[in-house]
Amino acid sequence: MSILVNNDTKLVVQGITGRDGQFHAGRMKAYGTNVVAGTSPGKGGEEVEGIPVFNSVKEAVEKTGANTSIIFVPAAFAADAILEASYAGIELVIAITEGVPILDMIKVTPILKNNGTKLIGPNCPGLITPDAALVGILPGMIFKRGNIGLMSRSGTLTYEVVNMLTMNDMGQSTVVGVGGDPVAGLYYIDLLEMYENDPETDAVVLIGEIGGDAEEQAADYIAKHMTKPVVAFIAGQTAPPGKRMGHAGAIISSGSGSAEEKIKAFAKAGVPVAKEPSEIPKLLKEKMAKETV
């Protein structure tokens, strides 16, 4: 039944009384997401977009049964907000906030693992299971329910590729924006395993970019464990070495992290790599047809 979010998702919006929190809480609710609560210390008892506000995540969980959280708080407080959600028993946290200090995330990550809390982000657009739950800042109108899973380090490329898939009548099961920070939550391998085990996902699109070795690790995992078709695109193919490009993780250094290396890794794993995003629907159709013969 898709991955991570669905009709059973009960969402609490941390920072709901702020500008971004209020705006996106309204959008998520309008999409059909079951937004059951918001939090803002000292403002408990108020309502935002018809959503009850609590002083703490613990109180929100106790009163509403919330199981998922989305974070719209400033970077300096984001790590504490993530931990608050985790200790309150939230199963999945989506951190939209960008600029969260890397050292904060290094401290938070092992605690989340110990608590059994899944994290998407930080510095991500969130995720969506079309026609079920939108948890993030994604433009809901471009998504179409279907059987293609998609995960991406780039927010804007996610929107572009999803729109192309939808225009080619290739709907999506669940789309996840993992974000581009060097230290983040669930990443390619975690999601590949989920898509592989999801009966509603028949194929996967992976959108990567230069920097780090996450794509190379994903290619190795695909070769060893994936039975479903996978196609990829790597952003930053013309980026010069040593220059940061956009995301904190999008930098080529010490001869590693280049688009060429990532493309070679995928080719070795039998994963077609699009030269341009517009090629993805065609490559996906060809890969799916080939593997069903």
Find the length of the chain: 293
At residue 243's C-alpha, the angle toward residues 238 and 244, to 5°, is 100
Question: What's the burial of 238, exposed, middle or buried (CB within 10 Å: 0-12/13-18/19+)?
Answer: exposed
Contact 271, 245 (CB under 8 A): no
Secondary element (H or E) of residue 283: helix 280-291
Smallest CA-to-CA distance from 173 within 154, 145, 153, 151 is with 145
Of 5, 18, 34, nearest in space to 120 by CA:
5
Contact by Cβ (8 Å): 267, 201: no
Task: Kindly give, in sequence order, each residue whose CB lies less than 8 Å from that of residue 113, ignoring residues fewer than 6 positions away.
Answer: none
247 catalytic residue (yes or no): yes
Given 153, 247, 262, 287, the catalytic residue: 247
Contacts with 84 (C-beta within 8 Å, 6 or more apart), sequence order = 14, 56, 57, 58
Residues annotated as part of the active site: 247
